[in-house]
Amino acid sequence: NRQHTCSKVCYLSLTKNVLSARTAFAQAQQCVRKDYGHGSVVCVCNATYCDFAAELSDDQLTGKNLAHYVSSKSGHRLLSMTMEFSSSTCKTSSTSYSNILDGDTVFTVNQDVKYQTMLGFGGATTDAATINLASLSNDAHELVLSTLQYFNLTEEDYVYKIPNIKRAQELSPNPIRVFTAPWSAPDWMKEIESSGASHLLPEYYETYANYYVKFLQLYAEQGVDFWGLTPQNEPSHGTTNGGFNSMGWTSEQLRDWTAGYFVPALKAAGLDDIVLMILDDQRTQVEEWAEDWYGNESVNSFSDGMAVHWYQDANSDASVLTQAHEQYPDKFLLYTEACIFTNGVIEPILGDWSRAERYASSILETTNNWVAGWIEWNLALSVEGGPSWMGNSADSPVIVNATADEFYKQPLFYALAHFSKFVPPGSVHIGLETEDDGGISNIAFLTPEGNTVVILMSTTYFGEGGSKYSLIRVPMGASDFSTEYYTYDDVAGDTSLQYFALRQFEDYHLKIPYLKQIREMSSQDIKLFTAPWSAPYWMKDNGTAFGRSALRLENYKPWAQYFVKYFDAYADANITFWGLTPQNEPNQGGVHKVHIISMGWTAKQLRGFIAEHLGPALEENGYSYLKLMAYDDSGLYLPEYLQSILKNKTTRSYVSGVAIHAYHDDNIDPNIISNLQTEFPDKFFLYTEGEYLHQITVDDLGTWERGEYYGRSLFQSLNHWVTGWTDWNMVLDTAGGPVWSKAPYNAPIIANASADEFLKQPAFYFMTHFSAFVPPASRRIQLKTTKDGGLETVAFLTPEDNIVINLENRGGVPTFAWKENRKPLMKNHLQCTQPGLNPELTFFGSLVQHESSALEHAAT
């Protein structure tokens, strides 16, 4: 909205209908969606068509409305509409916020608080990017450049680039700042070690300075003038190993060469007005380089700003950026390289939303810490993630399919576009205040035209700032934690399931909307699986929901079709499942009487039901992709039950994995799971239910031992081939419910509705140490120790090649150290401690580091 004076402020209130939406304000070309099965979609463009966002002219922004653009995991791409401020969302100095609805998250823009002025957002015209552009037809090539018209920064290299840069400059409504960085001097100017590390020979210092100047001059002759430069791309890389073309410098070496040779050469050529940025390397080095360069009075005079790469951001806090700004406020900070890659492993994942959220999270984090711009590494890459002479594959905002003469705009593209399109150069980062952000990452800008731009991104249990859960169990019908007993067909004798229907309240009002909201918020693909507690009472031999019972033989077929009906109904509501188990706790209803909803199965009975009814029904109705898991009960009877079920070849062909509950873990030998994995190596093992079985009381809130229960089960199971762990109830109320079965229990989050607050218990953080740092597709790897000293340990290698080590210390280890290749890596850091314990102890910690060579990549 247009700038307001201090006497009147309009605020944004999320989650309630304080803002009234109108229809889209202008015609836009919609995204042609294509789903590759990776959680979201790409937008397909070719020589004749590409989507673009609707534009809103300045005179349409009246001060009483705002332009609203949304991109989402479900497929919205810069979806646009206007939203009008209602009277309840504006106040003057004499009014209050009394009209705000309970539960609203409120953001108040404060234009009197000003931070950095923005340089812009953009990408790099690498050789690979321009080769891919050239592989398209002229019309498609032109459309790619048109879609990138809001990228107002670009990094330079050598081949194919000048024509694309000049054309991009012609198409862009904003001036494009072009800057450059060298990867290496010619080999004949360097000393190259056997490790691949290299450095410039001193006798070529002056020659190389003139070499750089010559490059700038030749581009100027072609009509491309550079705005800025860095003396070296990633100078630290070349000091340790080659890997790719590089040249090593210490901070002091590069500083002295720049001051003694390069700057004089620039001045002699009349190029000393080019902006010079230092570092161009990882955030972990910001403090050292700022001190070495800015702290030197003679060098400080020609150093304009600092270039930073994002690859090791996990190893340093973003506050180092703010500290650098506060110490040297006349120097800008610019992120000059970011991409998602793993050498030879990760290719582009078409439609992956989680990568877009990683970009957006980084931009929000860094710009909230004085960074003035953010640049993607490759503007466009091929479907293989190249070309790259060293076999490096990476993802990119635009993926070019030259054989089809089309290109795909990835979610990455739209994550960047929400910044580059709406925050032009010269915009100022301004204050955005809130008492409770509700897990919503946020930032605000004031553009040169006087428009206020607010950018928001949601998070929680499932978001970037939360636990990042990736598994959700959805009971099929009522469970013990329901308000009443129900099934989806309570009409006795309805074997055709004519009256099958989901519940209006439990399914359509509660479960389905929340599952969709979770899917929207999550940065990764959410795997949903289901399990029934009981068939309808009329299908069972005891005619009730409770007690010892079994399914009547004549109802095996309709019960299998009941599963199909359930999946069909949820699919109609746009909810797709990943897996299922045929029965929750089959021993409960078959071995003894219980007070919860149940239905018993012997292993022989369940084996026949899967082989003759459930497996074929799923296959015949298009659900053969679902992961069918056997058992779904505690480990007490696991070996005998599983061996009986899987000895039938037909049953075994339908079963993908084994579901286990955590309740009797302290009474069983965890090696039984390892032994079963050896016997059935083609089946995965998943913990599908775990909870501390203890009635909740006020005195229990915050009890550390409840969290330790989770920790024991997690470490024990994951070290014995279990691939995941699912909590039973994510959220319960202060009475441990609602529950109709008179068995209230505890949960990681306790909701206190009367106070409109929720309490995150120790169990939440025990879970989060795993769920937030060990994403799906991570591999457990070997972790050796000379002496465990009472430490529980487990290690993983993530898909991004990060090593994650989880530790729990319930003993008396006073100190310990990590080692990488026999060199000290990192001493223990306090992460999460029980009140009253020695604060020097690491009680439960997660170490994340990027060096994949730190540990042997041997699965154990």
Return the ∠ at Cα 564 (arms to 560 and 565), rounded to 5°: 110
CA torsion angle 249 254 255 258 (round to 10):
180
- 617-631 burial, b at 16+ Cβ within 10 Å, e below that, comes to bbeeeebeebbbbbb
Three-state SS at 353: helix
**Cα–Cα distance for residue pair 658/641, rounded to 1 Å:** 11
| DSSP-H helix ranges across 573-703 | 588-591, 603-609, 615-620, 638-646, 649-654, 671-679
| DSSP-H helix ranges across 695-777 | 704-718, 762-771
Structure tokens at 754: 């009367």
Residue 622: closest CA among 557, 573, 576: 576
Three-state SS at 173: coil
793 - beta bridge partners? 807
CB 478, CB 597: distance < 8 Å: yes
Q: Judging by DSSP bridges, how do beta strands 527-532 and 731-733 pair with one another? A: unpaired
Active site residues: 234, 337
To which H or E segment does residue 808 belong? strand 803-809
CB 601, CB 586: distance < 8 Å: yes
**Cα–Cα distance for residue pair 390/394, rounded to 1 Å:** 12
Return phi, psi of residue 381, to 5°: -135, 170
Render 240-281 in DSSP notation, one character per residue.
H--SSS-----HHHHHHHIIIIIHHHHHHTT-TTSEEEEEEE
**Cα–Cα distance for residue pair 17/415, rounded to 1 Å:** 26
Distance of CA 289 to the CA centre of its chain: 30
Structure tokens at 814: 């006073």
Instruction: State the distance between the two ends of the chain, measured CA to CA, in whole angstroms.
Output: 57
